[in-house]
Amino acid sequence: MLFSSIVFLFTFLPIILILYYIVPRRFKNAVLLLASLVFYAWGEPVYIFLMIFSILFNYISGLDIARKLKNRQAAKRSLVFTVVVNLALLGFFKYEGFLLGSLNAVLPVNIPYRELALPIGISFYTFQILSYIIDVYRGNVKVQRNLMDFALYVTMFPQLIAGPIVKYSEIDRQLRTRQESWNKFGEGVMFFVRGLAKKVLLANTIGMVYTEVAALPSGQVSVLSAWLGCAAYTFQIYFDFSGYSDMAIGLGKMFGFEFLKNFDYPYIATSITEFWRRWHISLGTWFREYVYIPLGGNRVTVAKHLRNLLVVWFLTGLWHGAAWNFVAWGLYYGILLIIEKYFLGKMLNKLPGVIKHIYSIVLVMIGWVFFFSPSLGSAFGYLKVMFGAGAHGGIDRESLYLLVTNLFLWIVLIVGSTPVVYRSYEKFFSRKGREHVIVDCVIYGVMFLLCIAYLVTETYNPFLYFRF
């Protein structure tokens, strides 16, 4: 189930909210767990069993590791076994086709395989589980003896299918004691509605521009069209993904949870290094904590540091999808970060702000070309058009149409990618009391209504029988 659906907004969420707030405290986690299982099963009726297996296996493994903590050797063996099983499950369901396909291409063999449907959210919940297991081993967190609380940590529906990746240590205490309040609920509503609007009003709408450009026959794409298509995707993925994170954070707050921020205006970054401090923060934190630093981080020889960076970025790419273009996308960032770290860093600092902004946003946009292209070859093909080779002129009618008919949207997207509006709004109204409340309510109320209108219209589907 998606948050941005009529069934979620007007059937699932109301029922869960009522149940959650009428049951006594000791049943609240049970309600959330049940809700999360239904939520997951709604989209993945079969893979729910895989998830339940994962929960049971890791619950027991956690206990096992904790029991052996006095004996480091035994604990380590248990840890390695658990991590391997988790990665094997992820590997089997997410990477089997990719791995065997690549092997078949490179080696003179032909291993038959069947493409499995990817269990939704498996990349997210596997990483959450790993953070728990590793932290138990490290002694950073106490082992969770309550199966229900553990299951709730893994399945919690607000962040189950698209993050943020919540580390167990962040939420351990909240699972036992947390405070729901009107205050938090109201904040949650604002996060949720903002996220919903980002996803439904902005991401989905600009996504159509991207789809339109992507559907143009090759040879019909002008330079401007190619850049507009790439810009459309750049906005789409940010507003989609960060919108989802905002909705997750908002829903969490409605049930008394506090999740950490996952996006921090990534497109205003002045360097690639900064971009990755602002983009999908929970994933970056995870890789730093469980891969980069254990490998030695930057406190090693230069050669090893380079290796560490490339390993992390290879894996980051692979995490996003089982295909070579994602790997290329990850390594692209690995290399850029190395260049910034060892060569460009000081020079960049001296450049004027505008240049730094342009520098990073252009590199990020080029990165997304690798991300959205179905293959490496087509990514390079698209990049060529962006830089004029094989393009349908610099500017053609199609590109002007895409630009002009969406002009208002483009402006909203650009401004919305910066903190300007939000901050000046807060600043302007912070001194006013009553007006602030009214204006806020009107803005959020209208945003919510518009989202409903857009969601209902998605299925407005006139039957074209009378076309004939």
Partner 1 sequence: MKQEGNKREKLHKKKIMALLFLGMMGIIVLINLISRDKEFSDKENRMLEQKPQITLSGIESGRFMDQYEAYKSDQFAGRNLWVALKTRVDLLVGKRESNGVFKGKKHYLLEDIARPNEEQMQQNLETIREFESKYDEIPMYMMLVPNAANILSDKLPNFAVTEDQNEVFEGIQKALGEQITWVDVSKTLAAHKKENIYYRTDHHWTTLGACYAYQQLAETMNLDTSKEPKLTEYAVTSTFNGTLSATSGYETGYEEPIYIYAPKNEDDAPKVVVNYVEEQKKTATLYDSSKLEEKDKYAMFLSGNHATVDIRTTADTTDRLLLIKDSYANCLVPFLTPYYREIIIIDPRYYYGNLDEVMAENKITSVLFLYNGNTFVEDNSISGVLQNGETE
Active site amino acids: 320
Report the alpha-carbon distance of residue 5 to residue 458 in Å, rounded.
10
CA 101, CA 113: separation in Å to the nearest integer? 8
In eight-state DSSP terms, residue 374 is S
Cβ proximity to partner 1, 301 vs 457, nearer residue = 457
- Distance spanning both ends of the chain, measured CA to CA: 36
- Separation CA 287–CA 281 (nearest Å): 10
Peptide bond into 108 cis (omega under 30): no
Minimal distance in Å, beta carbon 248 to partner 1? Answer: 16
Closest separation in Å from C-beta 205 to partner 1:
8
The reply on whether position 219 binds partner 1 by CB under 8 A is no
Q: How far is the C-alpha of 339 from the C-alpha of 350, rounded, in Å?
A: 16
State yes or no: residue 464 binds partner 1 (CB under 8 A): yes
- Of 87-95, 232-240, 303-311, 443-451, which part binds partner 1 (CB under 8 A)? 443-451
- The residue ranges of DSSP E strands in 393-459, in sequence order, are none
Instruction: Please give the C-alpha separations between residue 367 and each of 229, 230, 321, in angstroms, as whole numbers.
Output: 13, 10, 14
Q: What is the CA radius of gyration of the chain?
A: 24
Binder of partner 1 out of 91, 97, 101, 186 (CB under 8 A): 186
Q: Exposed/middle/buried for 434, CB within 10 Å: 0-12, 13-18, 19+? A: exposed
251 touches 158 (CB < 8 A) = yes
Choices 70-78, 187-195, 260-268, 414-422 (CB under 8 A): range interacting with partner 1: 187-195
Residue closer to partner 1 by CB (options 19, 315) is 19
CB of 31 to partner 1, least distance (A): 17
| Closest distance to partner 1 from the beta carbon of 467 (Å) | 7
Q: How far is the CB of 148 from partner 1 (least distance, A)?
A: 24
Encoded tokens for 192:
């949720």
The answer to whether the beta carbons of residues 151 and 59 sit under 8 Å apart is yes
The values of phi and psi at residue 294, to 5°, are: -55, -30
In 226-333, beta strands by DSSP E: none
The interface with partner 1 within residues 123-182 (CB under 8 A) comprises: 182
Residue (354 or 464) nearer to partner 1, CB: 464
Q: How far is the CB of 430 from partner 1 (least distance, A)?
A: 8
- Which of 407, 415, 420, 421 lies at the binding interface for partner 1 (CB under 8 A)? 407
Region binding partner 1 by CB under 8 A among candidate stretches 22-30, 266-274, 376-384, 400-408: 400-408
Please tell me the count of residues contacting partner 1 according to CB under 8 A: 63
Looking only at residues 4 through 43 of this chain, which bind partner 1 when binding is defined by CB under 8 A?
5-7, 9-11, 13-14, 17, 42-43
Nearer to partner 1, 17 or 344 (CB): 17
Contact window for partner 1 (CB under 8 A) among 3-11, 56-64, 85-93, 238-246:
3-11
CB of 319 to partner 1, least distance (A): 26
Measured between alpha carbons, how far is 239 from 245 in angstroms, rounded to an integer?
10
Q: Considering beta carbons, is residue 219 or 462 the nearer one to partner 1?
A: 462
Q: Exactly one of 70, 303, 347, 463 binds partner 1 (CB under 8 A); which one?
A: 463
Q: What tokens appear for 354 in the block? A: 């505008």
322 or 455: CB nearest partner 1: 455
Cα–Cα distances in angstroms (integers) from residue 63 to residues 5, 140, 143, 242, in the given order: 39, 14, 6, 35
From 409, 413, 416, 417, residue interacting with partner 1 (rule: CB under 8 A): 409
- The whole-angstrom separation of Cα 57 and Cα 66 is 14
Instruction: Catalog residues that contact partner 1 under the rule CB under 8 A.
Output: 1, 5-7, 9-11, 13-14, 17, 42-46, 182-183, 185-190, 192-193, 396-398, 400-401, 404-409, 433, 436-437, 440-441, 444-445, 448-450, 452-468
